[in-house]
Amino acid sequence: MDRASIQKTYVSRNISSGARSFFSPSELIFYLALILNIAFSVFYPVYSSLHKYYAYVVFICAFLIFACGKKLKYSGMKAVGMVAFIGMNVLAILMNGSGMGVLIQILWPLCIIYMFKNFHIPDAYIARINVLMMAGWILAVAGSLSYTAAYFEAFEQNVEQRGINPNTIAIIIVTTCLFLGLYIDGKSKSKLWKIIVYVISFAALYRTRSRTSMVAYFAILIVELLLKKKIKRLKKLALILVTLIIAAGIIFPIVYVGLYRNGIITYDTLFLRKRVFTGRQYIWANLWNYLQQNHSAFIWGVGYNTELYSRGTFNLHNAYLMIFAQYGLPTLLVYLAYIIYSVAGMYGKSGQISDLQFKCYQILLYVLIVGFGETVLSYLPNLIYIAMAIGIGCRERLEVD
């Protein structure tokens, strides 16, 4: 592009420049949702008070955000596709008996992405989000200090623990860490401060002993060190990497169960002082046995009320299997295709992405890798992060006005 075109490029070089000072209604609602999300994920008193009603709170936030848009801007085939997708999920829910409440797991991230794409969000909006995420990082790091050897020993013995799940804290630590890095880039561009933030985040992650988050954290840092420049200018490489991670996440349960059944890794093998096999092998094996006896479940899912583990909890501990189990194979394929499509949507006509967009891409990679062992694509408190990453990344796409 020539100099004049570059000057017109829609990308934030400085996240706080040229911003309007007032707050729009949708902005305030989203800030409230983000604050509630962080508080729900960090403070046990908030979690214990809201966990029965959290889905209703999210429903209200989604409705109000859509209402602030005055009118929907979907048209033509996009509108038809959206209606068909939602209708397909409603049909699956009716067939498998999950209950219509689970539909919010689909509507909430779509609402957030729609807001970022269509509400003409100013740079100050992104700057304020970064400030909130910085506060969330501080709270999450502080929260990690509560995890001691006694906590994990009790957890191992199935003794009920009054506290936030360490895997949830770990997800907050990493996602907020990346937004904090983005904030540093926009303000001071200090590599030293970023290194300090990354080191503190690692120490906090280690205290949570969240293995999936630690693996994902190292993976995205390696991508940043080795592939950042290539990914910023090569859309094909970015899409291949996302596709490979998704494929690995789907295959991972098969490998995990195989390692257990064949005794390649023993039940007493430890990693970070926790057993490698944590019960997920039973859940995934039971899902496969259920599918063999109920072939229609491949289309409609198994339903939220199906018991796949002796403890009676419907948690597949794998993001991809969870969507499949709740909505069926067609929804899973469309969902994953939309994620890949969204990554492609971050790249504009120039075929490049900015540093801000690369951070969004990193968050997306992190969520997809954590999905190997956690239901991060369907657990309501976590959905806001992947939706923010996609929404901000597409909002900042490099397009000539």
Residue 10 lies in a domain: no
Is 396:357 a contact under the CB 8 Å cutoff? yes
Residue 17 lies in a domain: no
Residue 399 has pLDDT above 50, yes or no: no
Report DSSP state, residue 88.
Answer: H
> 305-340: per-residue pLDDT in tens?
888 876 667 889 999 999 999 999 999 999 999 999
Q: What is the pLDDT of residue 373?
A: 92
- 């700057």: which residue's tokens? 127
- Give the CA radius of gyration of the chain: 21
348 Cβ contact list (under 8 Å, min separation 6):
9, 10, 397, 398, 399, 400
Give the C-alpha separation, 247 to 322, whole Å.
15
Residue 295 lies in a domain: yes
Give the C-alpha separation, 222 to 328, whole Å.
34
Residue 383 has pLDDT above 80, yes or no: yes
Across the chain, mean pLDDT equals: 85
| Domain containing residue 277 | 25-394
Residue 89 has pLDDT above 90, yes or no: yes
Query: Could you tell me the pTM of the whole model?
Result: 0.89
One-letter-per-residue 3-state SS of 90-145: HHHHHHHCCCHHHHHHHHHHHHHHHHHHHCCCCHHHHHHHHHHHHHHHHHHHHHHC
Q: Give the confidence band of 21 by pLDDT, cuts at 50, 70, 90.
A: low
Residue 19 lies in a domain: no
Is 178:218 a contact under the CB 8 Å cutoff? no
Q: Give the confidence band of 12 by pLDDT, cuts at 50, 70, 90.
A: very low
Q: What is the pLDDT of residue 391?
A: 92
> 243-282: per-residue pLDDT in tens?
999 999 999 999 999 988 888 887 777 777 777 788 888 8
Q: Give the confidence band of 67 by pLDDT, cuts at 50, 70, 90.
A: confident
Residue 7 lies in a domain: no
Residue 290 has pLDDT above 50, yes or no: yes
Least confident of 117-121, 174-178, 222-226, 264-268: 264-268
For the chain, the domain total comes to 1
Is 119:26 a contact under the CB 8 Å cutoff? yes
Q: What is the pLDDT of residue 310?
A: 64
CA distances from 397 to 11, 116, 293 (A): 7, 12, 46
- How far the first Cα of the chain sits from its last, in Å, is 13
When pLDDT is averaged across residues 151-172 and rounded to a whole number, the result is 79
Residue 205 has pLDDT above 90, yes or no: yes
Give the C-alpha separation, 334 to 342, whole Å.
12
> 136-147: per-residue pLDDT in tens?
999 999 999 888
| 274 bridge partner residues | 271
CA distances from 372 to 11, 221, 249, 253, 306 (A): 32, 18, 5, 8, 21
The token duo for 173 is 């630590």
- In this structure, which amino acid lies at residue 191? K
Residue 198 has pLDDT above 90, yes or no: yes
Task: Express as a percent the part of the chain with pLDDT over 70.
Answer: 89
Q: Give the confidence band of 72 by pLDDT, cuts at 50, 70, 90.
A: low
Residue 14 lies in a domain: no
Is 132:31 a contact under the CB 8 Å cutoff? yes
When pLDDT is averaged across residues 344-348 and rounded to a whole number, the result is 89
Give the C-alpha separation, 27 to 111, whole Å.
13
Residue 336 lies in a domain: yes
> 94-116: per-residue pLDDT in tens?
999 888 889 999 999 999 998 88
Residue 283 has pLDDT above 70, yes or no: yes
Q: What is the pLDDT of residue 318?
A: 95
Give the C-alpha separation, 380 to 55, whole Å.
7
Q: What is the pLDDT of residue 181?
A: 86
Q: Give the confidence band of 125 by pLDDT, cuts at 50, 70, 90.
A: confident
CA 179 to chain centre: 13
CA distances from 144 to 201, 208, 210, 264, 398 (A): 10, 6, 11, 33, 38
